[in-house]
């Protein structure tokens, strides 16, 4: 079975631009969560979506938004990019919307903002 997939693998953007990151969960998983990991730190929770509805939101500005599609894939959008948005963006999937700490992470998208 394929694991969680993310695209693109790497991305370079300029300050002020917009970026869209994509995630496909493990087949059968209905929940997708997004995390931001800055170098040297642990991942920080951004969003969780379950059955196309937002289930949780971390302490990130409104420039960050996400959505989940009927096939349970998800997009993370970041507007007006700042240098501080440079990070590894991780997507994690799980079967249900709650009740588990066992999540499956993708390889991440490395975003560099110049």
Instruction: Provide, rounded to whole angstroms, the least separation between the CB of residue 13 and another protein.
Output: 19
User: CB-wise, 1 or 80, nearer to another protein?
Assistant: 1
Candidates 21, 25, 31, 74; binder of another protein (CB under 8 A) is 31
Instruction: Provide, rounded to whole angstroms, the least separation between the CB of residue 16 and another protein.
Output: 27
Those residues whose C-beta lies under 8 Å from the C-beta of residue 108, and which sit 6 or more positions away, are 6, 37, 88, 89, 90, 91
User: CB-wise, 66 or 90, nearer to another protein?
Assistant: 90
Residue that is written with structure tokens 């059968």 in the block: 28
User: CB-wise, 74 or 80, nearer to another protein?
Assistant: 74
Size of the chain in residues: 114
String of b and e for 69-97 (b: at least 16 CB within 10 Å)? Answer: eeebbbbbebeebeeebbbebbbbbbeee
Binding mask 32-61 for another protein (x = CB under 8 A): -x-x----xxxxxx--x-x----xx-x---
């Amino acid at each position: 079975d394929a694991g969680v997939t993310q695209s693109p693998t790497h991305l370079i953007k300029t300050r002020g631009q917009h970026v869209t990151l994509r995630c496909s969960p493990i087949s059968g998983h209905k929940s997708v969560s997004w995390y931001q990991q800055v170098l040297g730190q642990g991942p920080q929770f951004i969003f969780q979506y379950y059955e196309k509805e937002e289930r949780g939101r971390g302490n990130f500005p409104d420039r960050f938004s996400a959505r989940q599609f009927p096939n349970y894939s998800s997009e993370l959008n970041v507007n007006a990019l700042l240098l501080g948005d440079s990070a590894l963006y991780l997507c994690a999937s799980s079967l249900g919307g709650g009740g588990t700490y066992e999540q499956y992470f993708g390889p991440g998208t490395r975003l560099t903002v110049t």
